[in-house]
Each structure stands twice: as C-alpha cells, then as structure tokens.
C-alpha cells in the first residue's frame, strides 16, 4: 500500500512538473489603475489556485467556530469517578469475541 501511495504522489508531482514545463510563456495579469503583473503562466495559475484555497478556508472559519461552540455547549459534563487500575498486559485469551487478536502483520 505504501508503494501505491508513493506512486500516486510521484504521478501527481510529474504531472504538475510537465504542466510547468509546458506553460513557460509569459502571461500578463492586468489590475486596476494600469498595474500589470507579468509572470510565467504556471505561476499565475498556481497563485490563483493558492488564493482560492486561502479564500475558501477563510470563508469556512466562522462556520467551524460556530459548530465547535455548539458541540461544546451540548457535550456532557465531565464526571468525577475513581480511577481503576488498567491491566498491565492483555493476553490473547483476554480478548473478547468482538476484538480478536491481530496476527500476521
């Protein structure tokens, strides 16, 4: 599985690398008041992608905070109980039927 993940990320890297090599011509982005930005096309596209990601995350932050506050408000209050000693080791015979021991990793 690790090799498949590595191959996937290698594919993504080489695809983006080929995209960068194929888009080396200069692009001009014209802003207001006559301001221009000239950069290779790949930088313009990647900058627009990064700005879109940053804008999306910034737009979601208030919603995340709201849901977090709601979850804390509805969470049960912690109770104080006496701590019990945990077993120092679990032998295979101590596993229940719902948690059989793992073998052959």
| pTM given for the model | 0.52
Rg, C-alpha atoms of the chain? 27
Angle among Cα 71, 72, 74 to the nearest 5 degrees reads 65
Instruction: Judge whether 97 lies within some domain.
Output: no
pLDDT for position 73:
85
Q: How far is CA 51 from the centre of its chain?
A: 17
Do the beta carbons of residue 41 and residue 24 sit within 8 Å?
yes
Instruction: Judge whether 84 lies within some domain.
Output: no
Instruction: Judge whether 99 lies within some domain.
Output: no
For residue 11, give its domain range.
7-77
* C-alpha span between 87 and 95 (Å, rounded): 12
* C-alpha span between 55 and 17 (Å, rounded): 25
Instruction: Judge whether 98 lies within some domain.
Output: no
| Cβ-based neighbours of 39, under 8 Å, separated by 6 or more | 26, 27, 29, 47
pLDDT digits (tens, 9 = 90+) for 7-32: 999 999 899 888 888 878 898 989 89
pLDDT digits (tens, 9 = 90+) for 61-98: 999 999 888 888 888 877 766 656 665 555 555 555 56
Instruction: Judge whether 86 lies within some domain.
Output: no
pLDDT digits (tens, 9 = 90+) for 50-59: 999 999 999 9
Do the beta carbons of residue 59 and residue 49 sit within 8 Å?
no
Q: What is the mean pLDDT of residues 30-47?
A: 88
Instruction: Judge whether 102 lies within some domain.
Output: no
pLDDT for position 59:
95
Instruction: Judge whether 95 lies within some domain.
Output: no
Instruction: Judge whether 44 lies within some domain.
Output: yes
Number of structural domains the chain divides into: 1
């Amino acid at each position: 599985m690790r090799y498949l993940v590595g191959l996937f990320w290698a594919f993504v890297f080489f695809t983006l690398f080929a995209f960068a090599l194929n888009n080396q011509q200069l692009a001009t982005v014209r802003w207001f008041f006559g301001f221009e930005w000239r950069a290779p096309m790949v930088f313009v596209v990647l900058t627009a992608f990064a700005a879109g990601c940053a804008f999306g995350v910034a737009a979601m932050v208030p919603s995340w905070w709201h849901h977090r506050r709601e979850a804390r408000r509805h969470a049960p209050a912690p109770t104080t109980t006496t701590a019990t000693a945990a077993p120092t080791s679990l032998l295979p015979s101590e596993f229940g039927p719902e948690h059989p021991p793992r073998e052959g990793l």
